[in-house]
Copies of this chain bind each other. A is one copy, B any other.
Amino acid sequence: MDLRHLRYFIAVAEEQNIGRAATRLHISQPPLTRQIQQLEEELGVRLLKRTPRGVELTQAGALFLDEARNIRAVVEQATERTQRAGQGKLGRLDVGIFGTAILDAIPKLLLAFRRSYPEVKIVLHTMNKGEQIEALRQRRITVGFNRMLAPLPDITTRLVANERLLLAMSHTSPLAAQESVAFPALRDHPLVLFPTGARPNFIDKVMTLCHEAGFEPIVSQEVSDAITGVALAAGGFGVCLVPESTTSLALPGVIYKPLTDLPHHAQVDLSCIYRSDDQSPILEAFLGTIEQMRSTLPSGAALTE
């Protein structure tokens, strides 16, 4: 049986006349007669009763007419859904994010994407840098977000935003009175650093900046993530260098101060990563959304990749 048989049968059933149905189908009458005979033979069921004025449906034929119309609708829907999936409009996007990536840029991006592609289900997976790479390779996620990614052959990195560094501290800190803080002044203040974990990381970056400024920092504590770092700073453990987006994290007693006397490269990137060979239209769509969002993301617009 063929979809053609169904189409033909529906036409014949609706016209109650093989000749008229043939005209409607833009074929001649004899082949239509044969196709219907074929269908009846294959099913082993008489679908039509031939009368001198045309044909009429048997009970089985009436039932099959319903079924045929249903099948036609199911096929149409399947086609349409598949086409939407092929255009990246329908499906699922698994995103790997790190703990504090939930701040600022990424929610904005995901909301913008969801607005454009409401039928794509976004699933978030919290995982660290190494886990993201692993998950990308195993296709458990389609895209990941992270900072300071080392280049890899099979994973493409794409800069989403570049953020300035700020200093988080307790409002009781001796630096709290200043409008801004000169970076070299940090030589005399204990630092809370994060994140521990896969290298290179933000701790390495801060250490390098200090060395470039000609001092060895006093490390008060190394912690796993930004939230813990800011919390310790609030508790008086020291000051904590953070990416600008972290200011969304308004813990009680925490204040953020801009830094001066920093080199131009003293910024921290936020990038997304995906498999280099991934052709998925949903990924395409997501990267397109990032492109459109660039101007609204911190510094991103001003930077080349």
Contact = CB atoms under 8 A, between A and B. Distances in A.
Contact of A59 (B45, B68, B70, B91): B91
A78 B59 contact: no
A91 B63 contact: yes
Nearest to A58: B280
A67 B81 contact: yes
Nearest to A59: B91
A58 B280 CA distance: 7
Contacts of A282: 59
Interface stretch (A1-9, A17-25, A128-136, A181-189): A1-9
B60 A85 contact: yes
A67 B280 CA distance: 19
A224 to B, nearest CB: 34
B67 A78 contact: yes
A46 B86 contact: yes
A279 interface: yes
Interface residues of A, number: 36
Contact of A70 (B43, B47, B78): B78
Contacts of A74: 70-71, 74
A142 B60 CA distance: 14
A44 B83 contact: yes
A111 interface: no
A77 B63 CA distance: 12
A49 B277 CA distance: 11
A90 interface: yes
* Chain A residues touching B, majority SS: helix
Interface in A30-59: 43-47, 49, 58-59
A281 B49 CA distance: 13
Contacts of A49: 279
A219 interface: no
Contacts of A4: 2
Given A64-B78, A74-B71, A78-B67, A43 B86 contact: yes
Contact of A71 (B78, B85, B91): B78
A63 B90 contact: yes
Contacts of A59: 85, 91-92, 280-282
A64 B43 contact: no
Contacts of A81: 63, 67
Given A3-B2, A74-B74, A82 B67 contact: yes
A121 B282 CA distance: 49
Nearest to A5: B3
Nearest to A64: B82
19 contacts: A2-B2, A43-B79, A43-B82, A44-B86, A45-B82, A45-B86, A46-B86, A58-B280, A59-B281, A60-B91, A63-B81, A63-B82, A63-B85, A64-B82, A67-B77, A67-B78, A67-B81, A71-B75, A71-B78
